[in-house]
């Protein structure tokens, strides 16, 4: 796949995400409601997850035959001995934020990412309830692009620096998970306040938190709880195309398909240069 043809993938992938979103909304808006079951890991599953999965899997097979698709809802996931040889593959969460879907908060997304040698190089995050699209491309040799698209049109997005926030008289903004973080998040926030002074705290569901950093509405999203690679890859592509960083506990870039497990470590989505956030690597040892 040439870099030019990769750039041409973005529009059809957006179309696939929208069609998956339409399938989700059929279930979401059903007057009689929908059934929720539990998967083996006790996470919820609805027919909307499966409907979106079918749309995406079938559409990607037509768009890019021969490129494997790894979806949360694939059932039997490819064994490590198989996928460790994948140079390029699609990584998909057909409905990220099923708990938000069940709670009818509207804060759930369709996530589609293209992975090249462990790096999410193309990502689309679609919010079916609002019709908002976040998209990013930063493949080698291609001009990076990151944008937000809604009913009013398409707007390029870019992370903001801490200097940007200070120049506008705005506090450092942290976006946090509604459902995860436990006792460690207050410790991190206490350390952040010592580093930067008063801060603003917002919350959001699903991969939208990473997208808020990508569009410069937040400076940091610390994820101190379990996620899988399909939860983050699409938004990571958007964030990195917008100039940001998704890093693990040691502040090295998060990469996909590097190990047997598909679980992510704790991570931080950062807008500014990582050097401004070095204390994050050891905040638990110094916060009190």
- pLDDT, residue 286, reads 47
CATH hierarchy code of domain 3-156: 3.30.540.10
Rounded CA-CA distance 20/56 in Å is 6
Domain ranges for the chain:
3-156, 162-286
Phi/psi at 61 (nearest 5 deg)?
-65, -35
Residues 193-250: pLDDT tens digits? 999 999 999 888 879 999 999 999 999 999 988 899 999 999 999 999 999 999 999 9
Alpha helical stretches, state H, the chain: 3-28, 47-63, 80-83, 98-103, 162-167, 184-196, 208-214, 229-241, 283-286
Token digits of residue 162: 């801490």
CATH architecture of the domain covering 162-286: 3-Layer(aba) Sandwich (3.40)
- pLDDT, residue 82, reads 95
- pLDDT, residue 113, reads 98
Is 123 exposed, middle or buried (CB count within 10 Å of its CB: 0-12, 13-18, 19+)? buried
Q: How many CA atoms lie within 13 A of 193 on its CB side?
A: 12
Question: What is each CA distance from 283 to 187, 223, 246, in whole angstroms?
Answer: 8, 14, 17
Helix, strand, coil shares of the chain, percent, nearest 5, are: 35, 25, 35
Contact of 7 with 1, CB cutoff 8 Å: no
- The mean pLDDT values, 10 residues at a time, for the chain of 288 residues are 69 97 94 76 80 97 95 88 96 92 90 97 97 94 91 97 92 81 82 93 89 97 93 98 96 96 95 94 58
- pLDDT, residue 180, reads 55
Q: Which pTM value belongs to this model?
A: 0.93
Buried b (16+ CB within 10 A) or exposed e, 147-175: bbbeeeeeeebbbbbbeebeeeeebbbbb
- Fold match between 3-156 and 162-286? no
């Amino acid at each position: 796949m040439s870099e030019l043809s990769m750039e041409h993938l973005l529009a059809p992938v957006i179309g696939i995400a929208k069609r998956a979103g339409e399938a989700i909304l059929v279930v979401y808006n059903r007057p009689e409601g929908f059934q929720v079951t539990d998967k083996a890991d006790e996470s919820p599953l609805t027919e909307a997850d499966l409907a979106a999965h079918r749309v995406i899997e079938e559409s990607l097979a037509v768009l890019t035959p021969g490129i494997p698709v790894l979806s949360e809802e694939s059932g039997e996931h490819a064994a490590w001995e198989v996928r460790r040889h994948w140079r390029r593959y699609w990584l998909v969460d057909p409905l990220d934020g099923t708990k938000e879907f069940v709670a009818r908060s509207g804060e759930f997304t369709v996530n589609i990412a293209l992975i090249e040698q462990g790096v999410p190089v193309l990502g689309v995050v679609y919010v079916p309830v609002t019709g908002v699209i976040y998209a990013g491309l930063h493949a080698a040799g291609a001009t990076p692009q990151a944008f937000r698209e809604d009913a009013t049109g398409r707007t390029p997005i870019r992370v903001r620096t801490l200097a940007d926030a200070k120049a506008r008289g705005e506090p450092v903004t942290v976006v946090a998970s509604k459902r995860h973080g436990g006792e460690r998040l207050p410790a991190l926030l206490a350390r952040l306040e010592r580093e930067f002074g008063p801060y603003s705290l917002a919350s959001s569901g699903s991969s939208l938190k990473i997208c808020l950093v990508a569009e410069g509405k937040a400076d940091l999203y610390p994820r101190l709880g379990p996620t899988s690679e399909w939860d983050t890859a699409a938004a990571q592509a958007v964030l990195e195309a917008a100039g940001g960083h998704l890093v693990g506990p040691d502040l090295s870039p998060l990469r996909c398909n590097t190990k047997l497990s598909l679980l992510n470590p704790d991570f931080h989505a950062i807008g500014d240069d990582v050097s401004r956030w070095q204390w994050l690597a050891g905040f638990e040892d110094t916060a009190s």
